[in-house]
Amino acid sequence: MIELIRRRDPHRPDRWKIYFGDVCIGDIGPRAGVPTTVDQLEWYCGFVPPAHRGVDAGGTAIDLHDARQKFEVAWRKLRTAFTDDDFAAYRYARAWTAWNRECGRTAASCRHKRRMAARDASAA
């Protein structure tokens, strides 16, 4: 089984992103605006598209060790609900989003890429 990997969020250094292979399946980080007398961390396990079906989990934790334990328990329960198609849909959406952002930066180049892709598809 693929091991879970934890990486710092590049946009929020106080948060950790959790990866299953190349798919970000959740995060752990501080809660905002809560009193110091309550759990200071929050965790979330899930990704789109399964999260749209209600296949996700989240909660609070006292410290990073507690958050990691709760996350791993949730992951073991949820992992069976995720299909290969869910992971493929996530990867497709990620690739499409990256492509679309690149098109926004270089609109003329993307029009050319679309024409070339259409030409290649019709030739196949």
Q: What is the pLDDT of residues 61-116, one digit of tens each?
A: 999 999 999 999 999 999 988 889 999 999 999 999 888 887 776 666 666 677 77
Q: How far apart are CA 14 and CA 63, in angstroms?
A: 13
pLDDT band (50, 70, 90) for residue 45:
very high
Question: What mean pLDDT is reported for the chain?
Answer: 87
> What number of CA atoms fall less than 13 Å from residue 56's CA on the CB side?
19
Say if residue 49 is preceded by a cis peptide, omega within 30 of 0: yes
- For residue 36, CA distances in Å to 31, 50, 71, 92 come to 10, 33, 22, 41
Q: What is the pTM of this model?
A: 0.76
Comparing CA positions, the residue from 40, 46, 37, 52 lying closest to residue 18 is 46
- Other C-beta atoms closer than 10 Å to the C-beta of 46 total 20
